[in-house]
Structure 1
Amino acid sequence: MSSNSITRGARARARQAMRAEVAAIVMDLVLERGYEETTVDDICAVAEISRSTFFRYFPSKEDALFGEVADAGEQLRDALTARPSHETPWTAMRRALDPLIERYEADDERTRRLARLVVNTPALAARHREKNARWHELLRPEIARRLDADPTDDSDPRANAVIAAALGCVEAALTAWTSNDHPQSLSAILDRAMETIR
């Protein structure tokens, strides 16, 4: 391995670590103060970075807040692609969601508070919908393949319908999960939502 490759790898790891650190600070501040009340200047002060450094890592406060979840689309696509070929598209989608749901539940109180904030804050709800649209495009080729459909055929609604329904179930499950201080598991709520449509 060349020294240039090692240097690039070290830089990429340092960049990823800084992104994770700043994203954690953003989440802490937003959960403590509120989304609108937390400014980029507040974030920079706590993280001890300049505004230009912040914007080198994140295009906006929303992007920093969504952090890893926004990047989970590729992981969801990979999990979907790895599902056994005999599974129906709906079953494969549900099982591919397991790692994401487990991540939400791993720190359930903070994640539930963040999900509640997203549901109740128009700017964050809009960004959440944008994230879902990106995920939709990532998932479409694999769902179409499982349906023996052409992913480039916009006149065939089936792949879009499966993905929209599954992501709608996730949104409904998150809304239900955040509406109660002592909810059942997010996984169980998602199962209930998806079984309704099956």
Structure 2
Amino acid sequence: MGLRERTRQAVKVDIAATAMRLFLEQGFDATTMEQIAAEAEVSRRSLFRYFESKEDIALGDIAERGVRVQEVLAGRPDSEGPWEALRAALDVLATEMEFTPEWAARITAMFHETPSLRARQVEKQLRWTGQLVPEVERRLGVPPGSAGDPRAAAIVTSALACLNAAVDAWTTGGGKRSVFELYDEAVAAIRA
């Protein structure tokens, strides 16, 4: 990555951190793009070159995290079944995210209290399905490009629904239990 791209990434990270601080202090809906630009010391126009909307700032790199989960899933041993490989791949979310539990709880609560954020989060997570299904199909022995076999899509969408249910339970439970412990319980309920 060249100097220009590193500088662009650093500015983007700074803007996102500033915005998250404002969202948590004032509330998501009460924070304006103008306030974010002023606090981050960039013009409104520059802000929109980095982010299309407040939702995009708050959701950060959800799409990129999906790509990372896909990479880890593809690298899992072929001996693992789809559920086991997905579980191991989703672990990357916990190990590579740099949040304190308290901060993560506050952000997750903000997402749950803001309908526009939840809707945008679901939209971005839907992309994950398209990214993960081909690897699960491969693990199931489904020939590439075959139509009419719903198993891989059912497994991926169920796994992501379990992840969302675990995050919901984690948030309402005050973050007392591990998200992945709750995820494992959700998966066990589905697979029972």
- Pairwise TM-score range, normalised by the shorter structure: over 0.9
Give the CA deviation at 1:105.
7.7
Give the CA deviation at 1:104.
5.3
CA distance in 1 between partners of 2:175 and 2:49 (Å):
39
Deviation sequence 1:14-34 (CA, Å, 0-9, x none):
111111111111111111111
Q: Does 1:25 align with 2:15?
A: no
Q: Percent identity?
A: 42
Q: Does 1:15 align with 2:8?
A: yes
For 2:3, give the aligned amino acid. A
Q: 1:108 aligns with which of 96, 101, 109?
A: 101
Q: 1:58 aligns with which of 45, 51, 62?
A: 51
Q: Does 1:187 align with 2:180?
A: yes
CA distance in 2 between partners of 1:101 and 1:151 (Å):
31
CA distance in 2 between partners of 1:176 and 1:17 (Å):
34
Residue in 1 aligned with 2:170? Answer: 177
Judge which range, 54-63 or 182-191, deviates more: 182-191
For 2:116, give the aligned amino acid. A
Aligned ranges for residues 21-100 of structure 1 at < 5 Å? Answer: 21-100=14-93
Deviation sequence 1:66-99 (CA, Å, 0-9, x none):
1133321110100111111110001100110001
Aligned ranges for residues 126-145 of structure 1 at < 5 Å? Answer: 126-145=119-138
TM-score, normalised with respect to structure 2: 0.93
Aligned ranges for residues 140-179 of structure 1 at < 5 Å? Answer: 140-179=133-172
CA distance in 1 between partners of 2:147 and 2:168 (Å):
30
8 Å CA contact 1:136, 1:163 repeated in 2: yes
TM-score, normalised with respect to structure 1: 0.90
Consecutive unaligned residues in structure 2, runs of 5 or more: none
CA distance in 2 between partners of 1:13 and 1:65 (Å):
21
CA change 1:25–1:197 in 2 (3 A) is same
How many correspondences in the alignment?
191
SS at structure 2 position matched to 1:97: helix
SS at structure 1 position matched to 2:61: helix
Give the CA deviation at 1:103.
4.3
CA distance in 2 between partners of 1:128 and 1:154 (Å):
28
For 1:100, give the aligned amino acid. L
SS at structure 1 position matched to 2:154: helix
